[in-house]
Structures are given as C-alpha cells and as structure tokens.
C-alpha cells in the first residue's frame, strides 16, 4: 500500500508538484496505468460555477490532440475532488530554458505553433486553459504538450487575497483578469505571447519583480520583447493587445506559425520571410470574428495520426469512465522539436 494513500480508485505514488489550485501526483490506476492526478483545492461552492466546471471537464475529455495532455477522468463532487490526466515524460519549457537558454528559431516556432494549436482545439471545445505558462508546457519527445488545466479556477482566483498571496502567475496573467473584466479565450492568447517571449529571450516578459510590479507592467502593456525574433514580433505584439477582442485567435496564430515553420530552416533569428506576416493581424482578427459569427466553429479535421505516448500503456489510451461521445482533434503534420525522452517527468504543478 502506498504511503501517500489513495484518491478515488487511484493509488498515489509520488508527488510531482504543488500549486495554488492543488497538488499533482503520479498515480496508478486499477489497471496498472500511470497517470497524473491533480487533487483540487478551493473548489467553489456556487452551484452555477460547479456546473460550469463539470461541463468543461466533459468537454476536455473529448479533446484529442498530440499537443494536449489527455484528461482521462475526474470527480468534482467527492470529499477530495480530483482531475486525472495523461502522464507525459519530458522537461517543462521553464526548466528547459533555465538549463539550456532560449530556444533556437526552429524550436521556438515549433513550440509556439504547437501550443497555439493546443489552445485552438480546447477553445473550439468551449474550454479556457486559464493557467498557461512555461511550467505548464512539457517539451516531450514528440514536441510540446500543454498540461495542467486551470479547470478549477474560479473567476476571481487570480486576485490578491486578503493576506497578499497571489493564486495565479502574474507575469502570465491577462490584464482583463486583474481589471475584473470578462475573461474568455483571449486571456490564453495573452499568456501564449508572454510564454513565447520567455522562450525566445530567457526573461519573463513582464519582469521578475513582485506580484504587484508584474501586475502593473501587465496592466500598462510594459512587455520587454527585446530579443524576440523579428519573424514572431507581429504575432506576439498582437497577442499582447490590451483589448481582448483585438487579439488574434489561437487558430489564426497556429495557421500563421505553420506557414512560418515551413521556411524557418532558411531564416536567421533576425529575419522575417517577406510577406508571410505582412497582413495586419488586428485587421485579420476583426475579419475572422465576423466570419465566426456567421458559421459554427470547427473543432478540428480528420487525418492526424495519434502522438506516441510515453510513460503510459502502449496500447489504446486508458479510459477511466470516459465519455463515449465524439472526440475533438486537430489535423495536419507538424514539425518536431526532438525533445528529450530521457529527461525527468513533469505533469503539472
């Protein structure tokens, strides 16, 4: 019997990380599969919020993408609410940059495109990640993977508490959250831009100061983008727009970066392919918003082969009481970063 005990039907094997919303453990299922289990703290008691959380979990369990850690199971109504995710081997983007320095151009574009694709697919499923940051991206053997959804974050969970404790990550939090404005998928886009800037430069875009200093920098648009490759600057700047409605969608970012990835082999870090990013992103965003209003969003296309899984079973994915409805996916081949399969495992914090 594990010294850490059990949560639901899962045996806790090792604590992998801890954050403001809960603790993440390596756990074993009844069938012997290894998973990442997040024990959730501070779950809202409001019925409407709990219903929203349950709806988001159901939506996430239908998402199929090589860029997103699969949500396998959840129980938000038990004494110790928990979320079960696929366990991914690899180092986090945060640790990768701290150990080896900023990503090179090809790696940077691949990471930026992969995470934009991940956001596009979860946004199409009606889910907002809410906690995108370098520590929540695994640089796996098959490319970047988005982990550790902020699924249990209530709308005001990122505010300063009465004791001054910050429950989010200020340098990767969108200004509308600090300003107590409506929060939706554009908040993830702002976090994407801050994450790409960190990966490109090795520095947090909004500084390393106190939470209050970082909040001030975010609210006032004081991002340090020195060192971000010219080819990526138009997208990063557009994604950091103070007005959420003027930020590009994740789908638009993924499309632009897919095209950029095809030519990055011949690019220098300070060069941009002529004409590739020339169209004003803000104008294209407005046109896209009008198109989206006329037709339902698509959640993906058929044709993507499943990403090989590391650290789990070698057959079909484990389903722990999973839904049987249709699943959401993205399509098309993507460049690979050539991650580090021998690196230590992280599944969120």
Of 259, 337, 328, 320, nearest to 119 by C-alpha is 328
Torsion angle of the four alpha carbons 245, 194, 304, 276, in this order, in degrees rounded to the nearest 10:
70
Cα separation, 107 vs 199, whole angstroms: 9
Element housing 13 (H / E): strand 10-19
Annotated catalytic residue within 75, 104, 110, 131: 131
Q: Is 131 labeled as catalytic in the residue annotation?
A: yes
Q: Phi and psi for 17 in degrees, rounded to 5?
A: -170, 165
Of 261, 193, 256, nearest to 225 by C-alpha is 193
Is residue 237 classed as helix, strand or coil in its secondary structure?
helix
Q: Give how far Cα 43 sits from Cα of 133, 163, 321, Å.
A: 22, 19, 22
Q: Is 90 exposed, middle or buried (0-12, 13-18, 19+ CB in 10 A)?
A: buried
- The answer to whether 207 and 220 are in contact (CB under 8 A) is no
Cα separation, 133 vs 17, whole angstroms: 15
- Active-site positions? 131
């Amino acid at each position: 019997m594990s010294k850490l005990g059990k949560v639901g039907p899962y045996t806790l094997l090792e604590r992998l990380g801890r954050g403001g919303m809960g603790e993440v453990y390596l756990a074993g299922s009844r069938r012997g599969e290894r998973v990442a289990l997040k024990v959730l703290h501070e779950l809202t008691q409001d019925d409407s919020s709990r219903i929203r959380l349950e709806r988001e979990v159901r939506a996430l369990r239908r998402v199929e993408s090589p860029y997103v850690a699969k949500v396998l199971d959840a129980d938000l109504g038990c004494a110790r609410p928990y979320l079960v995710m696929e366990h991914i081997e690899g180092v986090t983007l945060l640790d990768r940059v701290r150990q080896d320095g900023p990503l090179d151009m090809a790696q940077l574009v691949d990471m930026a495109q992969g995470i934009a694709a991940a956001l596009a697919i979860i946004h199409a499923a009606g889910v907002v990640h809410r906690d995108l940051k370098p520590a929540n991206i695994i640089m796996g053997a098959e490319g970047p993977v988005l982990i550790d959804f902020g699924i249990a974050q209530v709308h005001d969970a990122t505010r300063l508490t009465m004791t001054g404790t910050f429950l989010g990550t200020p340098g990767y939090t969108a200004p509308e959250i600090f300003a107590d404005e409506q929060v939706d998928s554009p908040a993830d886009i702002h976090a994407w831009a801050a994450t790409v800037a960190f990966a490109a430069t090795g520095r947090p875009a909004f500084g390393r100061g106190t939470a209050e200093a970082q909040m001030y920098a975010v609210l006032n648009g004081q991002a340090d983008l020195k060192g971000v490759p010219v080819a990526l600057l138009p997208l990063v700047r557009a994604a950091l727009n103070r007005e959420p409605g003027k930020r590009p969608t994740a789908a638009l970012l993924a499309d632009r970066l897919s095209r950029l990835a095809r030519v990055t082999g011949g690019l220098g870090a300070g060069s941009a392919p002529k004409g590739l990013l020339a169209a004003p992103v803000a104008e294209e965003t407005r046109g896209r918003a009008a198109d989206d209003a006329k037709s339902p969003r698509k959640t993906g296309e058929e044709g993507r082969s499943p990403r090989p899984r590391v650290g789990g079973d070698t057959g079909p994915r484990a389903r722990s009481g999973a839904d049987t409805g249709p699943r959401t996916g993205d399509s098309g081949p993507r460049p690979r970063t050539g991650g580090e399969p021998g690196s230590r495992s992280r599944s969120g914090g």
